Amino acid sequence: MARTVTTDAPMPFASLPPVVRLVNAFADPYDNAVATARTCYSSTIVSPEDVRKDAHARAQRDAIAKSTYAAGHHTTLQHAHFQFALENVSRQLLWSFLHAHPFYNSEQVSQRYVTVRPERVLVPRLPAPALLRYRSTVELQMRAYEELTGLLSAPAAAAFFAVFPARRKRPEDHKAAIKKRAQEVARYVLPVATFAHLYHTVSGLTLHRYHRLCQSHDVPTETRVVVELMVDAVRRSDPNFFASIEDPLPLDQTPEQRALAQVGKLRPSASARAFCQAFDRALGGKRSVLVDYKLNTEATLARAVREVLGLCPSELGDGAAIELVVSPAKNPAGVGPLNLTTLGKLSRTLFHPHYTFQKKLSHSADSQDQRHRMTPGSRPVLQAQYVGGAPDVVVPGLIAATPAALDCFMTTMAAVWRAMDDLLADQVATESALYLLPNAFPIRFEESGDLAALQHKWTTRLCYNAQEEIWQATRDEVEQVRAVHPQVGKYLGAPCAVRAAAGRTPPCPEGSRYCGVRVWTLRLEDYARRA
């Protein structure tokens, strides 16, 4: 039932236009939504056929749909889901809008493992001189990506064979793995304008919300185009579903834009430098700093465990109660391939502990970090943290340890900053100029989560195969939680360590992707990765 939707309206892009295909959808989403509403007040299940069977039923259907929408009774709209195939959409759109909330699912092409082609970049429509500057800067970034992939091959190979010395005998067998590691790091130089393609699935309610907020920061033009194509695709499938759709909220009426206008920062400002410097000082050299948590976390967790089991403290002490839910040996809910934490009565006591971290990750790393939907963050309007004049970037360890690569990287970054500053000085729209931001641009933000969600995240991201920055941030977080809540923290570790503690064999669940280090035998303070 795939439906490809395009538009006759002129596109605001000089590059390939976005492609939106509705590839899967609920049947009769509009009638189904009304049927679910009527079922709440019926002695039997009301079917979609019932709500459209005759003129009277259809009139009642339309009245119910209108009134339930106006009253905010929107759970009926969540039953219908729509799966889209999206092409020619920027990484900036994914980070800023499509993946900036919990209520979606995406499977997207990976920049870690798929080589980026030079032409796969969004280019906004700009006046001729600005367009030339934009295109030449993208070409520079793409050449640097290719050069860095080559420069990093030898150090990536050295790190690989240091972990797997026996594999030196057949180096040709591992060229692909080494190249992927090199290009994983080289991608930090790529612009956030780089195209992605993906499957993206949302409910009907989320699509309504998309449409209302499609003119929000950071890329309101691209967001509006893509969301309108998504809505049009659904309309072609069911013309009635968006009968009550609201108009998009104009950018100047969003709270972010109003706040920026109030302080006179509708364009990037050098005054952001003081904010960035203060934020970085607060981190004290860490990727992530614990800034808030519940004071009585361990006592509250233990009490909640006893309440589930109907026990008194004399029957189950705090330490034993905490062990019941946090120890992999006692609670296997989080050990297997399925995360069952939210479904178990005892495991749900892990919702009560809560932690907040101040973090700094590259755009590239944060694009992965935000996929942990149950540990949401308050991410910035990027123009509010942009400072011109000199590069503001996260430098990956492998680049920092390779002088030729570091020189190539920083030289390219300096040129990118000059180009963005020139475009902004020429009054190019901020969203257009900042498409040139590299994946290395730092995202400074706060992130929170309950222990149930964080335990799952920490376990997966302490794996040595995890993205480097997220692994480093996770280690910072677990170390700090151990310091303030030792009875909770002592059970946190890499997935192989958790499996070993639960008696699962083999400890490593990655199979052929085994990192080569017996991490399950290490203490957390001994966790260390090569660049």
170 half-sphere exposure, CB direction, 13 A CA radius = 5
Contact of 318 with 298, CB cutoff 8 Å:
yes
Identify the residue whose tokens are 């151990």. Answer: 482
| 320 contact partners, CB below 8 Å, separation of at least 6 | none
- Tell me the residue type at 248: P
Domain range 3-111+195-262, CATH class: alpha beta
Task: Give the C-alpha separation, 348 to 201, whole Å.
Answer: 27
pLDDT confidence of residue 115:
87
464 half-sphere exposure, CB direction, 13 A CA radius = 24
Share of the chain above pLDDT 70, in %: 98
pLDDT confidence of residue 530:
72
pLDDT confidence of residue 283:
98
pLDDT confidence of residue 431:
97
- Return mean pLDDT, the chain: 95
DSSP H or E run through 201:
strand 195-203
Least confident residue range of 213-227, 325-339, 382-396, 413-427: 325-339
- Tell me the residue type at 306: R
Average pLDDT over residues 428-446: 98
Average pLDDT over residues 370-377: 96
Share of the chain above pLDDT 90, in %: 88
pLDDT confidence of residue 82:
98
pLDDT confidence of residue 158:
87
Task: Give the C-alpha separation, 398 to 116, whole Å.
Answer: 19
List, for residues 427-436, the tens digit of each pLDDT value.
999 999 999 9
- Which two tokens mark 353? 């502990």
- What are the C-alpha distances in Å from 372 to residues 87, 157, 366? 23, 31, 10
Domain extents in the chain: 3-111+195-262, 128-193+382-441, 293-359+444-526
Q: Where do the H-state alpha helices sit in 152-246?
A: 153-163, 175-186, 204-212, 220-237
Q: Please report which confidence band the pLDDT of residue 198 belongs to, taking 50, 70 and 90 as the band edges.
A: very high
What is residue 410's three-state secondary structure?
helix
Beta bridge partners of 358: 289, 446
Contact of 93 with 406, CB cutoff 8 Å:
no
Task: Give the C-alpha separation, 344 to 336, whole Å.
Answer: 14
pLDDT confidence of residue 81:
98
pLDDT confidence of residue 173:
78
pLDDT confidence of residue 260:
96
List, for residues 335-347, the tens digit of each pLDDT value.
888 889 999 999 9
| Concatenated DSSP letters of 223-277 | HHHHHHHHHHHHHHH-TTTTTTPPPPPPGGGSHHHHHHHHTT-SS--TTHHHHHH
With vertex at residue 130, the alpha carbon angle to CA 98 and CA 128, rounded to the nearest 5 degrees, is: 115
Q: Please report which confidence band the pLDDT of residue 14 belongs to, taking 50, 70 and 90 as the band edges.
A: very high
- Which two tokens mark 153? 């091959």
Contact of 162 with 211, CB cutoff 8 Å:
no
pLDDT confidence of residue 461:
96
| 7 contact partners, CB below 8 Å, separation of at least 6 | 225, 228, 229, 232
Task: Give the C-alpha separation, 474 to 491, whole Å.
Answer: 14
Contact of 450 with 354, CB cutoff 8 Å:
yes
- Count of Cβ atoms closer than 10 Å to residue 125 Cβ: 14
Average pLDDT over residues 145-172: 88
- What are the C-alpha distances in Å from 24 to residues 3, 84, 411? 9, 7, 46
Contact of 474 with 309, CB cutoff 8 Å:
no
Task: Give the C-alpha separation, 213 to 139, whole Å.
Answer: 33
Task: Give the C-alpha separation, 91 to 191, whole Å.
Answer: 9
Task: Give the C-alpha separation, 372 to 494, whole Å.
Answer: 17
> Long-range contacts for 141-146 (Cβ within 8 Å, ≥24 apart)?
141/189, 141/190, 141/191, 141/412, 141/416, 141/436, 141/438, 142/116, 142/118, 142/190, 144/186, 144/189, 144/408, 144/409, 144/412, 145/116, 145/183, 145/186, 145/187, 145/189, 145/190, 146/186
Buried b (16+ CB within 10 A) or exposed e, 322-341: bbbbbbbeebbbbbeeebeb
- What are the C-alpha distances in Å from 58 to residues 163, 209, 234? 68, 26, 20
- Which two tokens mark 134? 């934009």
- Tell me the residue type at 427: Q
Q: Please report which confidence band the pLDDT of residue 114 belongs to, taking 50, 70 and 90 as the band edges.
A: confident
Is the omega angle on the peptide bond into residue 506 within 30 degrees of 0, that is, cis?
Answer: yes
Q: Please report which confidence band the pLDDT of residue 470 belongs to, taking 50, 70 and 90 as the band edges.
A: very high
DSSP H or E run through 363:
helix 363-369
Average pLDDT over residues 248-269: 96
Q: Please report which confidence band the pLDDT of residue 7 belongs to, taking 50, 70 and 90 as the band edges.
A: low
Q: Where do the H-state alpha helices sit in 107-171?
A: 128-151, 153-163
Nearest Cα to 28, choosing from 46, 41, 44, 43? Answer: 46
- Which two tokens mark 42? 């019926």
- What are the C-alpha distances in Å from 13 to residues 76, 116, 233, 292? 37, 20, 21, 43
**pTM of the full predicted structure?**
0.94
Nearest Cα to 18, choosing from 5, 31, 33, 1? Answer: 5
What is residue 106's three-state secondary structure?
strand
Beta bridge partners of 199: 85, 107
Average pLDDT over residues 334-359: 94
pLDDT confidence of residue 112:
77
